[in-house]
Chain A
Amino acid sequence: MQNNEGLFNNYPLTNNLFDEVFSSPGKVQDYYQQLISNFDTITASEYQMMNESAKKSFLYQGITFATYNQNPKGVERIFPFDLFPRIIHQPEWDVIEKGLLQRAHAINLFLHDLYHDKKVLKDGIIPKELVFSSGNMLKEMNGFTPPGKIYCHISGTDLIRHSDGNYYILEDNVRCPSGVSYVLANRDAMKRTLSRMFKKFNVSYVFDYPAALLEVLQSVGPKGVDEPVCVVLTPGIYNSAYYEHSALALKMGVELVEGRDLFVDQDFVYMNTIYGPEKVDVIYRRIDDAFLDPLAFRPDSVLGVPGLMSAYRKGNVSLVNAPGTGVADDKAVYAYMPEIIKYYLGEDPILKNVPTYRCDVESDMKYVMEHMDELVVKPVDQSGGYGIFIGSQETKESIEKEKALIKSNPRGYIAQPIMNLSVHSTYIEKTEKFEPRHVDLRTFTLIGKDYEYVLKGGLSRVALKEGSLIVNSSQGGGSKDTWVVN
């Protein structure tokens, strides 16, 4: 099946890990068969050339992001892209899609309840302290109902595949999830570089995402506005996802604005244009809650628009996502998501949660303290892979340090068993060979008024460092085009 010079020659399989491509040495999963035979006709040097040209096209298009890890000022990098795509088989995808929609609907019902009757707390489904102490429950949203009762229009749910072959939800991202522009860019690069091969496959398309997003924005416009003016609000060029903000605005055909381009008068929002002020009805904001309005939240924010929250609460402008959604993607609340789905929908969750230990529960804390070397500890209020502690990879000394940290703030941490993220054949430039690397999947779900949409596939993020489990782009991860095929 493989020739001797093939890119997949001597491909190493790891025990106890689910390999997305190879079910056993030399044995390819059925739905990868056609793809592998196509790639097997490519030589290593040909592949290297294609890889280079794909990389250049990212750089020329300015498809970059910034990381804050080592350099506080941020370093612009291209998002490493692997030409060998990941395939998700249609029957499996159908289940994922259903599960994502179920979760998104449950989260919206949960948020509406939290900001109104709070039945979920009164019925004891979730301890009230957990929600009230999270800091993400905004009093500014208390009693307010956004159009269509939708709080979370855009969710970026992260999935992983464990060694048992099942998909698990790793975390929910319902504030300002990013990454979708890379899905679109990856697909473009794929089509441009391997156009003839791509045409042979009936791959579900992704280019309808911007249109779907615009549909969602327009569906939640203020009452009585027939053709709402929508804008994308960005923190500006120094934000790590600025490329994405500009790409989405461009593809939707709406204005990309910064806070200084907008102002509020009589509780209406206007943008300054060369033709004078124009009323804005829907804001797809990519600014965190705390910076949205210096009169309502952080007074030192220069990114936001003074008076925006009053205009919002008056119903004169819609914000997407709504402020205060962060209470639903808090990692401690995540542990209760299966109960939340059952409570609001009366259904069993379609997609499983990773078992989660909450350090503020005494018995959980005890377990965590005794099993640090088998667990991944995460701060509940950080995103982007910052602050993650993987017990098995740490020294005794640093485990003790982490323990003390957890004890000083039990509410601040959760722990999960180390999930064996599946691996996927990934081209490694150094060895000029395909090697297994861990992958996860960021999915994108949209909810509008009488409208729902799941991007087919999503962003497969690859941990490029051998053995690494951290796939976040901010931590040096790469990505793959993801194909849903029958």
Chain B
Amino acid sequence: MPIYNISYSTQNTYSALSKESVLEFLVSPTKNDTQEVLESSFEINPDTPSYVSKNVFGFESIRFRLKNQPEKIEFKYNAIVDKKEINPFNFLPIPYEEEMAIIHSDSFGIDHFPFLSFDKYTRIPADYSCPVMQEGESVYDFLKRINQFVNTQLTYDSSITDAYRKLETTLLDRKGVCQDYAHFMLAILRVNKIPARYVSGYLNQGDSIIGAGAIHAWVQAKIPGVGWIGFDPTNNLLEDFHYIKISHGVDISDCPALKGVIKGTGENYTSYNVSVKEQIKEVNQ
């Protein structure tokens, strides 16, 4: 039962005073079967009234409305999360024929709207030959294969700062950050009729794991008869207790840590910091 101390902080600077702005932070870990939020708190500087709102998928965000917005806004969020040490990959798959029958049934596709749809983040370019499930390959085996495939196809490039890159662009330069890995994998899975969703969250990073100091992104796919299972193509890992989920959605547009609507003419610069620390380790030392 690892317990994590999580902190997210951001600093927004604006080159000019703006009349009004609304900021929305989607940074609070969600509560589900594998994780529980023991404590959480946030502060904003300058002090501004806030409220918590749920998005279409039921995830909670914190919203602020600022009038005559100052040139600098700081936001800090802290949480203590208890993560269960369940192995989500310890499941019994259903027989292959049954699995295929479900995947190819109309109702399965209909029930999983919108996690089978394509847009600019998840549409595979026409000239790209997309990997397909092999005869006899189970959904789980295919997922593991694609997780590795995506990992090897792209090179991690932390100099990319645009979080909203089209898949087309990613496939052109074969580079990306975690969002791009996730979108690429979502696209391949959806082509193969496997419902797949974009996940944002925190990653308890060891030394060799990519995603330090940032909100991480990975993928959850629906295995017929089993449920939603997570894959991290950026690191070619499976989602386990090191992954603390914030939210899921169709793609990045449902899950950014910060959305801002700013009425004004100035430029906007954002810097942020994320840290995840495991409490138990500290106690043991």
Contact = CB atoms under 8 A, between A and B. Distances in A.
A124 B109 CA distance: 13
Interface in A277-296: 294-296
A302 B106 CA distance: 39
B208 interface: no
Contacts of A264: 22, 65
A132 B263 contact: no
A299 B261 contact: yes
A309 B261 CA distance: 14
A142 B113 contact: yes
A137 B56 CA distance: 14
Given A128-B106, A295-B259, A310-B55, A118 B22 contact: no
A226 B198 CA distance: 41
Given A118-B113, A128-B109, A313 B24 contact: no
A267 interface: yes
Given A132-B117, A139-B113, A139-B250, A121 B53 contact: no
B22 A124 contact: no
Contacts of B259: 295, 299
B65 A142 contact: no
A302 B263 contact: yes
A61 interface: no
Interface string A128-153: 10001000010110100000000000
- Interface-centre pick from B24, B53, B263 (highest chain A CB count, 10 A): B53
A412 interface: no
User: Helix, strand, loop or mixed for chain B's interface?
Assistant: mixed
A306 interface: yes
Contact of B106 (A121, A139, A140, A142): A121
B113 A265 contact: no
B269 interface: no
A118 B250 CA distance: 19
A132 B54 CA distance: 24
Interface in B108-140: 109-111, 113-114, 116-117
- Interface-centre pick from A121, A139, A296, A314 (highest chain B CB count, 10 A): A139
- Place the interface of chain B in its size category: 20 to 34
Nearest to B115: A139
Contacts of B110: 118, 121-122, 128
Nearest to A302: B263
Interface in A237-271: 260, 263-267
A299 B22 CA distance: 12
Nearest to A139: B114
Contacts of B91: none
A137 B119 CA distance: 13
A310 B250 contact: no
A221 interface: no
Contacts of A314: 53-54
Contacts of A295: 22, 24, 259, 261
Contacts of A313: 54, 56
Contacts of B54: 310, 313-314
Contacts of A266: 51
B216 interface: no
Contacts of A122: 106-107, 110
Interface in A288-329: 294-296, 299, 302, 306-307, 309-310, 313-314
Nearest to A135: B119
- Place the interface of chain A in its size category: 20 to 34
Contact of B22 (A121, A132, A139, A306): A306
Contacts of B49: 265
B63 interface: yes
Contacts of A302: 263
A307 B51 CA distance: 11
Contacts of A142: 56, 113-114
B113 A132 contact: yes
A296 B259 CA distance: 10
A137 to B, nearest CB: 7
B53 to A, nearest CB: 4
Contact of A307 (B56, B63, B113, B117): B63
Given A299-B259, A307-B63, A140 B22 contact: no
A318 to B, nearest CB: 17
A309 B20 CA distance: 19
B63 A139 contact: no
A139 B56 contact: yes
A265 B261 CA distance: 15
Contacts of A121: 106, 110
Nearest to B116: A132
Interface in B86-120: 106-107, 109-111, 113-114, 116-117
A150 B17 CA distance: 42
Contacts of A118: 110-111, 113
Contacts of A140: 56
Contacts of A260: 263
Nearest to B53: A310
A263 B114 CA distance: 29
Interface in B149-201: none
Interface string B1-31: 0000000000000000000101010000000
A54 to B, nearest CB: 43
A333 to B, nearest CB: 15
Contacts of B22: 264, 295, 306-307
Contacts of A307: 22, 24, 53, 63
A221 to B, nearest CB: 21
Contacts of B114: 132, 137, 139, 142
Contacts of A132: 113-114, 116-117
Contacts of A124: 106
19 contacts: A121-B110, A122-B107, A122-B110, A124-B106, A128-B106, A128-B109, A132-B113, A137-B113, A140-B56, A142-B113, A260-B263, A263-B20, A266-B51, A295-B24, A295-B259, A299-B261, A307-B24, A309-B56, A314-B53
Interface of A: 118, 121-122, 124, 128, 132, 137, 139-140, 142, 260, 263-267, 294-296, 299, 302, 306-307, 309-310, 313-314
Given A296-B56, A299-B259, 18 more contacts: A118-B111, A118-B113, A128-B110, A132-B113, A139-B56, A142-B56, A142-B114, A263-B20, A264-B22, A265-B51, A265-B65, A267-B51, A295-B259, A306-B22, A307-B22, A307-B53, A309-B56, A313-B56
Interface of B: 20, 22, 24, 49, 51, 53-56, 63, 65, 106-107, 109-111, 113-114, 116-117, 250, 259, 261, 263
Which 7 A-B residue pairings sit nearest by Cβ, starting from the closest? A306-B22, A139-B114, A310-B53, A306-B261, A266-B51, A294-B261, A140-B56
